[in-house]
């Protein structure tokens, strides 16, 4: 499919194609470079945290320190060793010890920066139907629609604020789904997490609007470690969105987040992600290392947790949004589109751990590889002895664009109950010359044709996203594919 003609048509510098690549021009208060107990104490002090939280962070740090050289090597990704002492672990762009109390105190440069990202945080311009928590580097700078949510009894704020105002809730659930000892990056995050979002939906409440967190890395050489915690009490419902971008930088940036979800009896959490961290340039220089642990516990009977992700950014993606299906009849879902281009690498998938009776999980993963990129689906379906009548359906489809890229599927299945039913389907296909020519012959240009075919391949997943997010996802796909004709 590659013709020399089409390559020269798109030989522009990729850096200019990542339109979120600007820097917000502000001074940030940085903690000194490097990681040690002092830094952990500094972060905790800066955030005015209770002793129990500092103690938890220190336990995590000591655990991490013991395994510092044993970072996981099983993923199908390659990158130079990270020097953890050469990073900043805390950057506060608001540079006040407690963060801004109202929007008037937020630096106009920051507001303008978020406007440019299409995430207005000023009251008069706020997005209709979406409450936004805007997180810049390590700190939440603003949360919209808080008053309206409060009337419903819903808490939506930064996790730092939650630690101050709702310490009992945080203490009860933090680390309850992803303990600090879970894995290398989750452990690192537990020691140094700086901010993130917190949502609590009380019993019987259906959250009337979408909740959204928008993450933005701005500072150079700054690791970003957010921590998100969402709790849905009995009979409640929430749809939560997450978006992320970062400036164009020559150096790679580390992002190691943890997300924990808890759904109690009959509760439902729908979690959607558009991950668009800076992917690095055409030659694979720079870009975000996205090492993220996301896990939900469908703890209650009939509870449901649904992950939908569209991953187009990051130099390296390492994430497996998972569901522990503990409550009887609980449901776990994972819908994913992972697109890699140029020299991007993605090793992503899910884990569905069936514990309760008649639990049901669905996995639909679509991987698209273009350029020289490598895409791996890695997934575990585990049926415990107690999970009588459990069911899983897994579908993994890979699409290759060009002949320099790779697609890999690594499914793990462990079944310890004979009544379980599992289905697994997998396909690998290429955008065929016939398909492309069919479009061209109708007057549709190369790039649009490619986009149309790939968008069609992802249709089932985009349908799982809230409408506006689906439009954005589709747009993101288009931008990420620019210059991949071939």
Partner 1 sequence: MININNLQANIEETQILKGIDLEIKAGEVHAIMGPNGSGKSTLANVIAGRPEYSVTEGSVTFQDKELLDMEPEDRAREGVFLAFQYPTELPGVRAWQFLKAAADSIRVHNGEEEYSAREFDQKLKECVAQVAINPELVKRNINEGFSGGEKKRNEILQMTLLNPKLAILDETDSGLDIDALKIVADGVNNFRNKANAVLVVTHYQRLLNYIVPDKVHVLVDGKIVQSGGPELALELEAKGYDWVKGD
By the criterion CB under 8 A, which residues form the site for partner 1?
3, 5, 432-435, 437-446, 448, 452-453, 455-460
We find the least distance from the C-beta atom of residue 456 to partner 1, in angstroms, to be: 3
Please choose, from the candidates 220, 286, 227, the residue with its C-alpha nearest in 3D space to the C-alpha of residue 256. Answer: 227
Question: Please, are residues 205 and 236 in contact by the beta-carbon 8 Å criterion?
Answer: yes
Burial of 463 (0-12, 13-18, 19+ CB in 10 A): exposed
d(CA 166, CA 171): 9
We find the least distance from the C-beta atom of residue 453 to partner 1, in angstroms, to be: 6
In sequence order, the 6+-apart residues with CB closer than 8 A to the CB of 473 are 274, 310, 337, 462, 465
We find the least distance from the C-beta atom of residue 485 to partner 1, in angstroms, to be: 12
In whole angstroms, how large is the CA radius of gyration of the chain? 22
We find the least distance from the C-beta atom of residue 459 to partner 1, in angstroms, to be: 4
Measured from the CB atom, the residue of 418 and 443 that comes closer to partner 1 is 443
d(CA 477, CA 471): 10
Measured from the CB atom, the residue of 45 and 438 that comes closer to partner 1 is 438
Question: Cα–chain-centroid distance for residue 373?
Answer: 20
Measured from the CB atom, the residue of 181 and 455 that comes closer to partner 1 is 455
Please provide the size of the chain in residues: 486
Measured from the CB atom, the residue of 240 and 457 that comes closer to partner 1 is 457
We find the least distance from the C-beta atom of residue 188 to partner 1, in angstroms, to be: 39
We find the least distance from the C-beta atom of residue 457 to partner 1, in angstroms, to be: 6
Measured from the CB atom, the residue of 437 and 467 that comes closer to partner 1 is 437
We find the least distance from the C-beta atom of residue 347 to partner 1, in angstroms, to be: 25
We find the least distance from the C-beta atom of residue 388 to partner 1, in angstroms, to be: 36
Measured from the CB atom, the residue of 265 and 482 that comes closer to partner 1 is 482
Question: Please, are residues 375 and 409 in contact by the beta-carbon 8 Å criterion?
Answer: no
Question: Please, are residues 317 and 209 in contact by the beta-carbon 8 Å criterion?
Answer: no
Measured from the CB atom, the residue of 250 and 459 that comes closer to partner 1 is 459
Q: How wide is the angle at C-alpha 143 spanned by C-alphas 233 and 128, nearest 5°?
A: 90
Phi, psi angles (nearest 5°) of residue 474: -65, -40
d(CA 238, CA 231): 9
Measured from the CB atom, the residue of 323 and 473 that comes closer to partner 1 is 473
d(CA 235, CA 370): 43
Question: Cα–chain-centroid distance for residue 461?
Answer: 16
d(CA 344, CA 342): 6
């Amino acid at each position: 499919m590659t013709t020399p003609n089409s390559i020269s048509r798109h030989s522009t510098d990729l850096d200019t194609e990542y339109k979120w690549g600007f820097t917000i021009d502000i001074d940030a208060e940085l903690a000194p470079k490097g990681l040690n107990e002092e830094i952990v104490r500094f972060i905790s002090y800066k955030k005015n945290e209770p002793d129990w939280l500092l103690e938890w962070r220190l336990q995590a740090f000591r655990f991490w320190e013991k395994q510092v050289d044993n970072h996981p090597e099983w993923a199908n990704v390659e990158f130079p060793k990270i020097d953890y002492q050469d990073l900043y672990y805390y950057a506060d762009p608001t540079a006040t010890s407690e963060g801004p109390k109202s929007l008037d105190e937020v630096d106009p440069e920051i507001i303008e920066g978020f406007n440019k990202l299409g995430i207005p945080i000023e009251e008069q311009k706020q997005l209709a139907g979406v409450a936004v928590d805007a997180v810049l580097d390590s700190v939440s700078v603003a949360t919209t629609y808080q008053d309206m949510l409060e009337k419903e009894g819903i808490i939506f704020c930064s996790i730092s604020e939650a630690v101050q105002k709702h310490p009992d809730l945080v203490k009860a659930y933090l680390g309850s789904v992803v303990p600090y000892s879970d894995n290398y990056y989750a452990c690192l995050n537990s020691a140094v997490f700086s901010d993130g979002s917190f949502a609590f939906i009380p019993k019987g409440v259906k959250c009337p609007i979408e909740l959204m967190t928008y993450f933005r890395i701005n500072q150079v050489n700054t690791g970003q470690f957010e921590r998100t915690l969402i709790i849905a009490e009995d009979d409640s419902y929430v749809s939560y969105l997450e978006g992320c971008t970062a400036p164009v930088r020559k150096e790679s940036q580390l992002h190691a987040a943890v997300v924990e979800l808890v759904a109690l009896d009959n509760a439902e959490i729908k979690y959607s992600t558009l991950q668009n961290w800076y992917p690095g340039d055409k030659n694979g220089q720079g870009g975000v290392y996205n090492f993220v642990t996301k896990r939900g516990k469908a703890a209650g009977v009939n509870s449901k947790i649904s992950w939908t992700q569209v991953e187009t950014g990051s130099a390296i993606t390492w994430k497996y949004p998972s569901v522990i299906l503990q409550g009887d009849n609980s449901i776990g879902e994972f819908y994913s589109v992972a697109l890699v281009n140029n020299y991007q690498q993605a090793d992503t998938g899910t884990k569905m751990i069936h514990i309760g009776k008649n639990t049901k999980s669905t996995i639909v993963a679509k991987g698209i590889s273009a350029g020289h990129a490598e895409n791996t689906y890695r997934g575990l379906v585990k049926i415990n002895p107690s999970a009588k009548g459990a069911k899983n359906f897994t579908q993994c489809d890979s699409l290759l664009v060009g002949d320099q890229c790779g697609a890999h599927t690594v499914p793990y299945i462990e079944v310890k109950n004979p009544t379980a039913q599992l289905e697994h389907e997998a396909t690998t296909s290429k955008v065929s010359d016939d398909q492309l020519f069919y479009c061209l012959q109708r007057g549709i240009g190369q790039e649009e044709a490619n986009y149309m075919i790939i968008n069609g391949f992802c249709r089932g997943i985009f349908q799982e996203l809230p409408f506006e997010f689906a439009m954005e996802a589709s747009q993101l796909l288009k931008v990420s594919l620019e210059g991949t004709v071939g």
